[in-house]
Amino acid sequence: MALEMKVPSPGESITEVEIAQWLVEDGDYVEKDQAIAEVDSDKATLELPAEASGIITLKAEEGDAVAVGEVVCLIDTDAAKPEGDSGSDKEEQKEEKAEPKKEEPSKSSTPEQTQDKKTYASGSPSPAAKKTLDEKGIDAKDVKGTGRDGRITKEDAVNAQPSMGTPGTGSRGESRSKMSMLRRKVAERLVSVKNETAMLTTFNEVDMTPIFELRNKYKEDFKAKHGVGLGFMSFFTLACVRALEMYPAVNSMIDGKEMVSFDFKDISIAVSGPKGLMVPVIRNAENLSFRGVESEVKRLALRARDGQITVDEMTGGTFTITNGGVFGSMLSTPIINPPQSAILGMHNIVERPIVRDGGIAIAPIMYVALSYDHRIIDGKESVGFLVAVKEALENPEELLMDNNVLKALEL
């Protein structure tokens, strides 16, 4: 019996996915729940598990866009599992396929047909390639063919570039690869944000000395008791929660002609995954402690790294924090994560001279940036929000811990 495997729905509003990579080959025996493919949606890359054991027949190619519910492969559930190690047989088959067979002219070939074959094998362009090269004004001898025996294919001609000036003496190769559906969607969203919002960015600087002192004093006890590190993200998340309470317009978004404000704080955290940028959401961050934030950040980051993050876990945030500092960024203007209206950018921490108590001191300084949609967030609110974040980070014991560090850290 042949089981039809259809593309499951990765999430609400997603109607199409792209076959990013087949993890098995046509004709392989697969086990139930074995990952057989990676599929890209416009929000995440997910693994497709086999629904049954059997011999698989692929019905879609890598790079194909397929609709949700469409059949992408068949699994013959009646097929017996191969016995023994068939690896050597597969290698022999691959070698046979890799070794091209010499073609001999058929007995019915005319001399002219035989001559054509010799002409193609000499490295000259095919008729379609020759037409394209002539239109582009490129000499065939300047194009390296990728077809059999060096024949110039139409694709070679389309990709060929005219020579400009004196040729370089070093390597001048180039490669092309198709952008994943996720990357294409991110690109579209970024462009739409620039075109459809009145985005501005305001900046400030934070003296990280108080946070450094707290972490140095309590991080070992915190990790020993809770199993997670006391990082910077919990301080920044809770500082943003406090500032969002003070400036609710920053925790709002535009829906048509209406402004929608939220009484909860779902904080999106931008993390780098194997498939690119992922933005999982910490739900109801206003109800979390330092331990709760750090545990959730770790959980989501591991799921993103392992490619297990789901669309639901990346949907519905009300405010975003992104940390370019982990890559060494000193300053940037982060782009709003739509449909949200604001995003906080963290950066690297560098020792810099500052004025403290009338004198010059060396302190670990971070520049922070808030990009916001000026259509619903005024300058006063945006600057006030960022100042509130700065105040909380520079005085965390009073403003984030209620003057009780041990209770706040649950030690």
Catalytic residues: 374, 378
What are the residues facing 67 on neighbouring strands? 16
* DSSP label of 8: P
Q: How far apart are CA 226 and CA 410, in angstroms?
A: 9
Q: How many residues does the chain have?
A: 411
Torsion of CA 82, 88, 93, 94, to 10 degrees: 120
Q: How far apart are CA 334 and CA 192, in angstroms?
A: 14
Q: How far apart are CA 366 and CA 390, in angstroms?
A: 10
Segment holding 303, helix H or strand E:
helix 290-305
CA-based nearest residue to 267, from 290, 250, 248, 284: 284
* DSSP label of 341: S
Q: Is 411 helix (H, G, I), strand (E, B) or coil?
A: coil
Phi then psi for residue 7, to 5 deg, are -70, 120
Contact indicator for 281, 314 with CB cutoff of 8 Å:
yes
DSSP output for 150-172: GPBPHHHHHH-----SSPPSS--
Distances (CA, A) of 161 to 24, 126, 139: 36, 18, 10
CA-based nearest residue to 324, from 386, 277, 360, 257: 277
Q: Residue 236 CB: number of other CB atoms within 10 A?
A: 24
- Chain position carrying tokens 């309590």: 218
